[in-house]
Amino acid sequence: MAQAALAKEEIAFSPELTAFIDEWKVKPGSLIMILHKTQETFGYISRPAAEKLAVLTGIPLARIYGVITFYHFFKTTKPGKHKISVCLGTACYLKGGQDLIEEARNLLGLKEGGVTEDGLFSIDPVRCVGCCGLAPVVTVTTETGTDTYGKLTKDQIQGIIAKYRK
């Protein structure tokens, strides 16, 4: 029973999101904007949310999923409370960005796209955070904002993770 209530709560669109969808659904090429707003609202796009978008917009669910799965930005699983993003833009990649991802995943016991069992952490590669002079860069997004860490080595990752475990 509690699980069913949670699922209904998950797909309850706010009046603001519904108004946004109503405004944008009539515009050509609006699906990406609607998906961005939906993900901004929930942190990811769940199956029930995608199904509700299909009903509200008249866009086939297969097309919605085609767009969600084509663009790396869109997530279909709930991220961790602390979203760790590791930049893999050119400067960050060349200065060890991939090593940072591997170290963080190793420390947290995560595979690609995973979330820790306690729901605290998820790790995603990103293409560029616009801090090339600080390469390699990691950002950690929490409920209160985003912290940026630059000029990192993989030895520093454990300390960053420990800060958010508290």
Burial of residue 85, with CB atoms counted within 10 A of its CB: 0-12 exposed, 13-18 middle, 19 or more buried: buried
Token pair listed for 77: 């699983």
The sheet carrying 82-87 orders its strands as 121-126, 82-87, 138-142, 145-149
pLDDT interval class at 166 (50, 70, 90): confident
Instruction: Tell the CATH topology of 82-165.
Output: Glutaredoxin (3.40.30)
pLDDT interval class at 5 (50, 70, 90): very low
- Give the start-to-end residue ranges of the domains of the chain: 2-70, 82-165
Predicted pLDDT at 138? 97
- % the chain with pLDDT above 70: 94
Q: What is the pLDDT of residues 28-50, one digit of tens each?
A: 889 999 999 999 999 899 999 99
Token pair listed for 101: 């991802």
Residue 113's region, left for phi above 0, alpha for psi from -120 to 50, else beta, is: left
Residue recorded with tokens 């293409």 = 127
